Amino acid sequence: MTAETDHELVRRAKAGDERAFTALVERHQDRVYSVARGVVRSPEDAADVAQETFIAVLRHLATFQESAAFTTWLHRITLRKAYDHLRRRVPEPVDPASVAVEHLAGRDADPQSTGLGQRALLDAIAALDPPFRDAILLVDVAGLGVQEAADALGIAGGTVKSRVFRGRAALARTLGTQGYGRTSEE
């Protein structure tokens, strides 16, 4: 049996099929959480943002234009909810090491096993200017293609490429590496 596409699940969810919506949430929750965590930094806040994102998706699913990619729409909502969350909260000191890059491996990093290299990467990503951080989060953390990230950010694909390139260069300068963890063979 082949897995249903996002568009098939969206059509079923629009028709009132709760299992289809649940399947969409399960399919995308980790990436939504990772993108949210990359913006808000706190695991608890990221969980709140992810929940707010899926509530908004459910409320506005009827308005989703099926000619667009569901992931583009979903990540646009995620970023909007994450930045709304930042504007609402009272500023407090945060540890930049809690940034979403912990999810590059697909799961939370164990604080006891987090090496200095990863901690430095987390600090560096947290310190990027928001346009570069958003591009890095969508392309490198969430795994979106350049055009999907461009659509989610409402900018041109070339701009995403430039921001990813410049963000990676800034990370490499900060970390003193070539391509933040990429080897020359890649």
Query: Is position 121 within any domain?
Result: yes
What whole-number distance in Å separates Cα of residue 99 and Cα of residue 180?
15
Q: Residues 89-113: what's their mean pLDDT?
A: 44
Which of 166, 49, 162 has its CA nearest to residue 149?
A: 162
Query: Is position 183 within any domain?
Result: no
Higher pLDDT, 49 or 141: 49
DSSP string, 72-122: HHHHHHHHHHHHHHHHHSPP----GGGSGGGGGGTSPPPTTT--HHHHHHH
Query: Is position 102 within any domain?
Result: yes
Q: What is the CATH number of the domain that holds 76?
A: 1.10.1740.10
Which of 52, 39, 47 has its CA nearest to residue 83?
A: 39
What whole-number distance in Å separates Cα of residue 14 and Cα of residue 38?
30
Query: Is position 185 within any domain?
Result: no
Flag whether pLDDT at 4 surpasses 70. yes
Flag whether pLDDT at 179 surpasses 70. no
Query: Is position 21 within any domain?
Result: yes
Count the domains in the chain: 1
What whole-number distance in Å separates Cα of residue 25 and Cα of residue 52?
12
pLDDT at 81: 94
Burial string for 132-149 (b: 16+ CB within 10 Å, else e) reads: bbbbbbbbbbbebebebb
Q: Dihedral sign, CA of 50, 34, 134, 58?
A: negative
Range of the domain at 80: 6-106+114-175
What whole-number distance in Å separates Cα of residue 33 and Cα of residue 177?
28
What whole-number distance in Å separates Cα of residue 14 and Cα of residue 171?
42
**Joined tokens for residue 82:** 């994450």
pLDDT at 41: 81
Higher pLDDT, 91 or 38: 38
pLDDT at 182: 46
Flag whether pLDDT at 13 surpasses 90. yes
Query: Is position 27 within any domain?
Result: yes
Query: Is position 137 within any domain?
Result: yes
Query: Is position 33 within any domain?
Result: yes
